[in-house]
Amino acid sequence: MRMKKVSFLLIALVVAAVGFFIGCSPAKESEKMETVRVAEVTRSIFYAPQYVAIEKGFFEEEGITVDLKTTWGGDKTMTNLLSNSADIALVGSETSIYVEAQGAKDRVINFAQLTQTDGTFLVARKKPEFFAWEQLKGSTFLGQRKGGMPQMAGEFTLKKHGINPHKDLNLIQNIDFANLPSAFASGSGDYVQLFEPQASLFEKEGIGHIVASFGKESGKLPYTTFMAKESYIKNNSETLEHFTKAIYKGQLFVDTHSAEEIAKIIAPYFDDTPEELIATVVDRYKSQNSFATNPLLDEEEWENLQAVMKSAGELPQTVDYSILVNTDLATKAMK
């Protein structure tokens, strides 16, 4: 009788266990992954926390599948967002101000910050024995697109050092963003303003030499943020909260891990760049605090952004922080 009782008990436990797993299985299968379409303005090591969040499965943990595409340029990125070809844009905050100035009925709202300084570097064709900004006077300078954040941060820095970019330089701004490196490589210009990893690649190949950082010079800015249309935020607030939480996890990972570890993770996004060089670039960005350590865009950064735009003559109108910045999603994600 005792054996029978033990047998019945074992059978009951097995049945209960099977029932538990069967009961859990359909729930797991029924969980739907939300697809979010993200348009990034360029492909850059500057966006390491985003790629880490994808590769480490932080978005999956939040029930999100990211459909990422590179749209090469602020105007094209914003066009993708406004035409509903993307749900979220990763681009400079200045674009949201331009849209606002055009009287858009569906505002473009900044909800999570990814980078907090300019990400470009000044590359000289000839390596100087020592560098001083005044050496640029009278030179040919290949600048970024007029009205874009890189160019405005560049002009802000040049003026800070007593250089009028439109009088003291032969400033060239009519080269497409994607073609700027090849133009410099082919012999155009004495100086060029470049993102990484292109700047370091040129240095490695002897094409140019990094002599200064515009990120260090122009101060903290909401340089690259995730933004969405007001209507999308209203209708998808829960999804965006999970999205922002995944980004925050990526930011924390980048902040607390070595450049070598990060380089190994994001290497698949930069096929033509050696892993060792990726680590060098990550370390350079970490050393100048370019990666935001949380997604919260603060008011001081917003005001500095508008000061930089005004200095470049590109601020169409002053826009209050509370109008184009949503801090609720970032605040909830950080709890």
Return the pLDDT at 309. 95
Residue 280 to residues 57, 104, 192, Cα–Cα distance (Å): 24, 41, 20
Return the pLDDT at 31. 64
**Structure-token pair, residue 94:** 């200045």
Q: Which residue has the tokens 């066009």?
A: 79
Nearest to 109 by CA among 296, 322, 334: 322
User: Which residues does 152 contact at the CB level (< 8 Å), separation at least 6?
Assistant: 94, 308, 309, 311, 312, 314
Rounded CA separation 249/257 (Å): 12
Rounded CA separation 118/149 (Å): 8
Q: Can you spell out the DSSP letters for 161-188?
A: TT--TTTTSEEE--S-GGGHHHHHHTT-
Q: Can you spell out the DSSP letters for 126-140?
A: S--SS--GGGGTT-E
Kindly provide the b/e burial profile for residues 195-228, where b requires at least 16 CB atoms within 10 angstroms of the residue's own CB.
bbbbbbbbbeeebbbbbbbbbebbbbbbbbbbbb
Rounded CA separation 71/43 (Å): 9
**Structure-token pair, residue 279:** 């680590």
Determine the distance from the C-alpha atom of residue 319 to the mean position of all C-alpha atoms in its chain, rounded to a whole number: 22
Per-residue pLDDT 10s for the chain (335 aa) are 444 344 433 334 333 443 433 344 333 334 689 999 999 998 999 999 999 999 999 999 999 999 999 998 889 999 999 999 999 999 999 999 999 999 999 999 999 999 999 999 999 999 999 999 999 999 999 999 888 889 999 999 999 999 999 999 999 998 988 899 999 999 999 999 999 989 999 999 999 999 999 999 999 999 999 999 999 999 999 999 999 999 999 999 999 999 999 999 999 999 989 999 999 999 999 999 999 999 999 999 999 999 999 999 999 999 999 999 999 999 999 99
Return the pLDDT at 15. 35
**Structure-token pair, residue 203:** 């240095």
- The SS3 assignment for 322 reads helix
Q: Which domains does the chain have, with CATH numbers?
A: 34-117+221-333 (3.40.190.10), 120-218 (3.40.190.10)
